[in-house]
Structure 1
């Protein structure tokens, strides 16, 4: 059997080691995972109540249209229900756009480094991929991206804030960019970390959605809402775009518990605001510590920090792993001498800093 050429040699997604396996391998009684940008405070208490109530209905197929969740999202964002695209995580919505608009005769433009799923899914569709290196400060080179667009370009990806460095674009830069992108080219703005952003000049994406018909916004319930295990993400676009994409969405792509949990999570803005504030305080705490050691910390607007250490990321990763902390090596993220740390709880961060006092000097950091 021969798989299509563009996927031959593509590596499968490699998940990190499970916590229990790490404990066993290194003789540890406690392991803290700070690698996947999850919410250390979990989800709103409303979520557990909602899915517990629905747990007995597993023999029934989900509502394929996601009516309850769709209604709540439409009301929250003042959109028509037909402007929404529900996905099994925002990763699946990315897949929908690639499947709908990209072919071997078309091109797509993205930053590098950025979220890996843009390139992966474009590669699977056989599209021409144009990557534009981020600036030294980690921000998108929008001028370079504009120069890479031509008549074949169908999608431009803007990850804001950008994963893996956490750097966010301001509204003026985004508007200037949108004004110069051809209307024949869709601009997909991935706002997976939207709820964590603190900068006041962050783009008002829902206003831009009304003004620019080729603009698309992606968001997720996996990060601040604490529903990573249930895989719910969504896109927001003009009706014409959303309806063009919808036929590639599989039937029942979201499960019933995901729909119910996300709808319940939307009811608890107090929980989200509390998580945002705790994250801001703890992010600042870690930033001050690592900058105090003379390291460069990218100015993150997310729930993670990317830190340049001058030491190979895998070496740093291994040193922390042996002490019971699962971080993310920058070697797989386009930053070979960096480490990425998901912001944990106050207790977890305190333990991390204590261990860092032992690890970093031993590595010459």
Structure 2
């Protein structure tokens, strides 16, 4: 008879919900027995990684027997030069996901509260749950816009942090510079603001801010960014956070020593300087968004105008059936039910051919 284990996990662990990523291409190929699959589910760069970064990785393979630089010195210096901060104001992580967890481990106690606009990126809540803290969701306003007043109304004596994702995932909407200024001026000084601008490179509106200027002004802000989107390095996981050195120093105390592998560090340094790839990616995304808007308009579908590399589409009660139908045709998107939006899907902006294939398949399903 098999013995029953009686080892109990922490109570906070019982609340944790594993992250649900978009289905990978290989899984859909295996499940449906089809060879041609288009993935428009995870907001990846349709152009692929920076060619210069790929070359740098190839040149570094012979050093894989060495441990990576635990301090990511070269990458931090490159980021410091690019964004005009000191290296001690920067921390590099195994994707922005790890940095969210590290921030939670550093600043949250059991019973603390974090304010998170809803719907938004689920990892903010995951970090709070991990530490036994409480997530206070604040619904986005009309058109999924931000309401500073609603965020401030949610503040209590237990509030420890406020998360702002701008552009927001999954809506593509953003917080304007003036809104962020208003929020920071009104919040109590002991509340940390984590400003996740992972999709900042795709923004084309002039009243947007990436958040960095408010760090320079002395506000308690940590800005998160990633190499997974515009730089096309999602597969090797590297992100970074910037904030005042007193904040970063505390986060470094809970960081694992070799959290970012050597290939990721090497690729990120080179990708950061590959302005040609960045500009091309930005251009392809802007054109792709307009292509999707035009196609959705012809299909008489409502969508949320996006400043990111994805579009949120309203399909009504048939959204799940359309999602499944697209999957059967070999086109992977995200069903927004995971964000409590059962009438929506989110589609990543692909290249011209991928967008066209998605719109054609959508039209066939709706017909």
TM-score bucket (shorter structure): over 0.9
Q: Note if 1:284 corresponds to 2:290.
A: yes
Q: How far off its partner does 1:311 sit?
A: 2.7
Residue 62 (structure 1) aligns with: 68
Instruction: Note the C-alpha offset of 1:182.
Output: 1.2
* 1:171 counterpart (177, 185, 188): 177
Secondary structure at 1:229 match in 2: helix
CA RMSD of superposed structures (Å): 1.3
Aligned equivalents of 1:301, 1:222: Cα separation in 2: 17
Q: Distance in 2 between the 1:106 and 1:23 partners?
A: 44
Residues 213-362 of structure 1: pairs in structure 2 closer than 5 A: 213-361=219-367
CA separation of 1:23 and 1:263: change in aligned 2, threshold 3 A: same
What is the DSSP-based 3-state SS (H/G/I as helix, E as strand, rest coil) of the residue aligned with 1:145? helix
User: Taking structure 2 as the reference length, what is the TM-score of the superposition?
Assistant: 0.95
Q: Deviations over 1:225-248 (max 9, x none)?
A: 000011000101011111111101
Helix, strand or coil: the match of 1:306? strand
**Structure 2 unmatched ranges of 5 or more:** 1-6
> Match for residue 132 of structure 1?
138
Q: Any runs of at least 4 consecutive aligned residues in structure 1 with deviations exceeding 6 A, and if so which? A: none
C-alpha distance in 2, partners of 1:164/1:49?
33
* Greater Cα shift, 266-275 or 22-31: 22-31
- Of residues 201, 205, 227, the one that matches 1:195 is 201
How far did residue 355 of structure 1 move?
1.5
Q: When the two structures are superposed, what TM-score results if normalisation uses the length of structure 1?
A: 0.96
- Distance in 1 (CA, whole Å) between partners of 2:263 and 2:35 is 32
2:152 pairs with 1:161: no
TM-superposed CA distance for 1:204, in Å, is 4.9
2:319–2:345: 8 Å Cα contact kept in structure 1?
Answer: yes
Task: Give the match's secondary structure for 2:316.
Answer: coil
2:147 to 138, 141, 151: 141
Aligned residues: 361
Seen in structure 2, the aligned counterparts of structure 1 residues 194 and 331 have a Cα distance that, compared at 3 Å, is same
Aligned partner of 2:121 in structure 1 is 115
Residue 17 to residue 189, structure 1, CA distance change in 2 (3 Å): closer
Is the aligned partner of 1:90 residue 2:90? no
The 3 A distance-change label for structure 1 pair 183 and 58 is same
Report the alpha carbon displacement of residue 292 of structure 1 after superposing the two structures with TM. 2.8
1:28 aligns with 2:34: yes
What's 1:50 paired with? 56
> How far apart, CA to CA, are the structure 1 residues paired with 2:190 and 2:42?
35
How far is the alpha carbon of 1:312 from its aligned partner?
4.2
Cα separation, 2, equivalents of 1:101 and 1:317: 39
In the alignment, the residues of structure 2 paired with residue 12 and residue 240 of structure 1 have an alpha-carbon distance, to the nearest angstrom, of: 31
- Maintained 8 Å contact 1:328/1:341: yes
Q: In the alignment, is the contact (CA less than 8 A) between 1:135 and 1:141 conserved in 2? A: yes
Instruction: Provide the secondary structure at the position in 2 that maps to 1:217.
Output: strand
